[in-house]
């Protein structure tokens, strides 16, 4: 099969002909139709984070495709693992189901997880192997092109807001209107909050306005003054991989404000003022993707017509140019590889 492979950390990806992987016990083989390009894939290929991915690596954790074969211990006909079923292959490739976090409904913080396209090969390929327990069925009403970005960008933004719970009467700010942010903005509206979109490119802010943002603010201007004039921020979801953007969002928070960090910069440290945090009761919350239920919620919202996914189709052969496009801020929201 054709696959895009990271041969070494920091090296460009190479398109290789590799053997179709065999599903092991508890796993399925999926013929991939689409896979979104998440900014995480760029961090993975560069080795940006303290914990490094497997190498060589096939990235990709927004894969959507059809189950083609079942691993040895699976029998056809179980609802989640029917051959021919279309499923999504999210970042959370596996969680044990038994540790205290899994049992409590926090499988994203499982003590023995596997991550698609990071600790196991992902969906930048014509086929991928996934754990049957952690693929998520895709409703017929959703195209694979739309389902791919919902599988990571959507669910991460949704879950980040869910933990901060913006309420009607509050103002929710989404910083970075890229893959995560363009969906985060729409979820913030579903939560009932007044919304503010922040980015450094005017085209992204135009998109935010089209998607229903109540206010847009360019981060290159006097962001603090503009946000203060809007009455401050109650919930800030920062998708930008930048400690400065996180500090700016923290500074804009009202009393009881919640800063949710989902962007993951290579610069792993964030300085925040303690006095302002304490005297205004601000919270700082990290959030990692979402559970299978959260992914299913995002699919359900979309099937009901409540969200719009902005995509452009690309060929996997152009993966390196696509990484450059994302880094240059030229992408409307999400690039999706079609196989």
- Binding partner of residue 262 among Zn ion, ligand NAD, none, CB cut-off 5 to 8 Å per kind: ligand NAD
Please report the DSSP string for 109-166 in residue order: G-SS-EEBTTTB--SSBSEEEEEGGG-EEPPTTS-HHHHHHIIIIIHHHHHHHHHH--
Identify whether the C-beta of residue 272 lies closer than 8 Å to the C-beta of residue 250. yes
Nearer to Zn ion, 95 or 251 (CB): 95
From 6, 29, 35, 152, residue interacting with Zn ion (rule: CB under 5 A): 152
From 13, 38, 193, 236, residue interacting with Zn ion (rule: CB under 5 A): 38
- Binding partner of residue 241 among ligand NAD, Zn ion, none, CB cut-off 5 to 8 Å per kind: ligand NAD
Sequence-distant (6+) residues with CB within 8 A of 178 are 39, 153, 199, 204, 239, 326, 331, 333, 334
Q: Sign (positive/negative) of CA torsion 67, 71, 77, 81?
A: negative
Nearer to Zn ion, 78 or 100 (CB): 100
Q: Sign (positive/negative) of CA torsion 103, 105, 107, 109?
A: negative
Nearer to Zn ion, 144 or 171 (CB): 144
* Number of other CB atoms surrounding residue 163 within 10 Å: 14
String marking each residue 82-111 x if it binds Zn ion according to CB under 5 A: -------------xx--x--x-------x-
Residues pairing with 171 in the sheet: 194
**What is the binding site for ligand NAD (CB under 6 A)?**
38-40, 43, 152-153, 156, 175-181, 198-201, 204, 219, 239-242, 245, 262-264, 287-289, 326, 329
Name the minimum Å distance from CB 206 to Zn ion.
Answer: 24
- Binding partner of residue 110 among Zn ion, ligand NAD, none, CB cut-off 5 to 8 Å per kind: Zn ion
Q: What is the DSSP letter of 216?
A: E
Identify whether the C-beta of residue 62 lies closer than 8 Å to the C-beta of residue 153. yes
Name the minimum Å distance from CB 152 to Zn ion.
Answer: 3
Report helix, strand or coil for 300. Answer: helix
Nearer to ligand NAD, 82 or 264 (CB): 264
Nearer to Zn ion, 180 or 227 (CB): 180
Token representation of residue 294: 């959260």
Binding status of residue 64 toward Zn ion by CB under 5 A: no
- Binding partner of residue 102 among ligand NAD, Zn ion, none, CB cut-off 5 to 8 Å per kind: Zn ion
Name the minimum Å distance from CB 181 to ligand NAD.
Answer: 6
Identify whether the C-beta of residue 233 lies closer than 8 Å to the C-beta of residue 225. no
Residues that bind Zn ion (CB under 5 A): 38, 40, 95-96, 99, 102, 110, 152
């Amino acid at each position: 099969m054709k696959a895009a492979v990271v041969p070494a950390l920091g090296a460009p990806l190479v398109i290789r002909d590799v053997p179709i992987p065999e599903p092991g016990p508890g796993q399925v083989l999926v013929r991939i139709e689409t896979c979104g390009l998440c900014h995480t894939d760029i961090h993975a290929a560069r080795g940006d984070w303290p914990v490094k991915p497997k190498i060589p690596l096939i990235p990709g954790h927004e894969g959507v495709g059809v189950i083609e074969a079942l691993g040895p211990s699976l029998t056809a006909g179980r609802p989640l693992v029917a051959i021919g079923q279309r499923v999504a292959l999210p970042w959370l490739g596996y969680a044990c189901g038994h540790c205290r976090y899994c049992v409590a409904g926090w499988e994203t913080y499982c003590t023995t997880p596997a991550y698609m396209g990071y600790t196991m090969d992902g969906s930048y390929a014509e086929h991928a192997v996934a754990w049957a327990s952690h693929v998520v069925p895709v409703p017929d009403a959703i195209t694979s092109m739309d389902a791919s970005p919902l599988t990571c960008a959507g669910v991460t933004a949704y879950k980040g807001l869910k933990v901060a719970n913006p309420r009607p009467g509050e103002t929710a700010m989404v910083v970075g209107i890229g893959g995560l942010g363009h969906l985060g903005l729409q979820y913030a509206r579903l939560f009932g909050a007044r919304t503010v979109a922040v980015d450094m490119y005017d085209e992204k802010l135009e998109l935010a306005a089209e998607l229903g943002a109540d206010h847009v603010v360019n981060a290159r201007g006097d962001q603090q003054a503009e946000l203060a004039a809007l009455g401050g921020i109650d919930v800030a979801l920062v998708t930008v991989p930048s400690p400065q953007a996180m500090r700016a969002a923290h500074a804009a928070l009202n009393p009881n404000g919640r800063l949710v960090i989902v962007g993951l910069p290579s610069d792993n440290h964030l300085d925040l003022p303690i006095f302002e945090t304490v005297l205004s009761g601000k919270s700082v919350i990290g959030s990692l993707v979402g559970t299978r239920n959260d992914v299913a919620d995002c699919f359900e919202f979309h099937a009901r017509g409540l969200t719009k996914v902005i995509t452009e189709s690309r060929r996997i052969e152009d993966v390196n140019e696509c990484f450059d496009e994302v880094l240059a801020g030229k992408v409307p929201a999400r690039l999706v590889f079609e196989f």
